[in-house]
């Protein structure tokens, strides 16, 4: 295995039972993402890209094949171990933001740190710095409903960064945003990548994918590298 690869997949297969039939969603996929890369995984609905994202994110596990995340073999992990890996290794950014609606931006970002046992003072200090980093220093005490869609997505990016993850995994991160806000979020990803963050972005939109440094297309359960 390449020591530089933060994501290493070899011959990944994933199938689902559909009544009496078996549907193979991923068919012997092999993929490597090096530390510091910005990769878009591009594919239409039903192509297998969401299943691939779930396996990368340790939300689901493959039926067969090898997967190592930041050097950790994922194959034989139980649910608790997978949850711990998700918490420590991956910063998730979702299309629908997934913020806690009753809490301020500051608490939303501090929350995963508090769950890990970080002291309240340290968690809130880090959350403040991250919200300032994403341009929301004036919005620390606003709740999600008091923020625009673009601002909510910035909160979720700050939250994803809070645990210093090995990868940022972004699922259609501009899907709920207008074009101006979407452009600003993509510019932020490019800045974060420039600072050394590894980013894997899942999208069905070729124009979004083109802004990444590398495009991997998923079609009919297989991957194709775009040159």
Closest of 197, 177, 181 to residue 189, by C-alpha? 197
Helix (H, G, I), strand (E, B) or coil at 72: strand
pLDDT band at 124; cut points 50, 70, 90: very high
pLDDT tens-digit series, residues 179-200: 999 999 999 999 999 999 999 9
C-alpha–C-alpha distance, residues 161 and 138, integer Å: 19
pLDDT tens-digit series, residues 125-162: 999 999 999 999 999 999 999 999 999 999 999 999 99
Ordered by start, the domain boundaries in the chain are: 36-61+80-226
pLDDT tens-digit series, residues 41-61: 999 888 888 899 999 999 989
C-alpha–C-alpha distance, residues 116 and 130, integer Å: 17
Q: Give me the pLDDT at residue 48, please.
A: 87
Residue 3 has pLDDT above 70, yes or no: no
| Distances 12 to 6, 16, 56, 67 between C-alpha atoms, Å | 16, 14, 11, 8
Q: Are 158 and 109 in contact (CB under 8 A)?
A: yes
Q: Are 94 and 53 in contact (CB under 8 A)?
A: no
What single-letter DSSP state applies at residue 46? T
Closest of 36, 68, 59, 40 to residue 200, by C-alpha? 40
**Which residue is associated with the tokens 């297309």?**
217
What single-letter DSSP state applies at residue 204? S
Residue 88 has pLDDT above 80, yes or no: yes
pLDDT tens-digit series, residues 196-222: 999 999 999 999 999 999 999 998 889
Q: Which CATH number fits domain 36-61+80-226: 3.20.20.70, 3.40.50.300, 3.40.50.410, 3.30.70.2470?
A: 3.40.50.300
Q: What is the DSSP string of 123-162?
A: HHHHHHHHHHHTT-TT-TT--GGGS-HHHHHHHHHHHHHT
C-alpha–C-alpha distance, residues 216 and 52, integer Å: 11
């Amino acid at each position: 295995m390449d020591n530089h690869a933060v994501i290493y997949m070899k011959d990944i297969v994933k199938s689902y039972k559909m009544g009496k039939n078996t549907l193979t969603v991923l068919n012997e996929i092999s993929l490597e993402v090096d530390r510091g890369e910005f990769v878009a995984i591009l594919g239409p609905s039903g192509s297998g890209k969401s299943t691939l994202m779930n396996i990368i994110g340790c939300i689901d596990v493959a039926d067969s094949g090898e997967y190592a995340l930041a050097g950790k073999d994922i194959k034989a992990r139980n649910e608790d171990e997978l949850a711990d890996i998700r918490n420590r290794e991956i910063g998730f950014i979702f299309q629908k933001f997934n913020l806690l609606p009753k809490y301020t931006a500051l608490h939303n970002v501090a929350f995963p740190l508090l769950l890990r046992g970080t002291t309240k003072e340290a968690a809130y200090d880090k959350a403040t710095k991250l919200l300032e980093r994403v341009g929301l220093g004036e919005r620390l005490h606003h709740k999600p409903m008091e923020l625009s869609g673009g601002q909510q997505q910035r909160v979720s990016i700050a939250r994803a960064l809070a645990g210093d993850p090995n990868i940022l995994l972004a699922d259609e991160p501009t899907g709920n945003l207008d074009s101006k806000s979407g452009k600003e979020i993509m510019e932020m990803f490019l800045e974060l990548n420039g600072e050394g963050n590894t980013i894997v972005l899942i999208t069905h939109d070729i124009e979004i994918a083109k802004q990444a440094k590398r495009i991997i297309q998923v079609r009919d359960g297989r991957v194709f590298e775009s040159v």
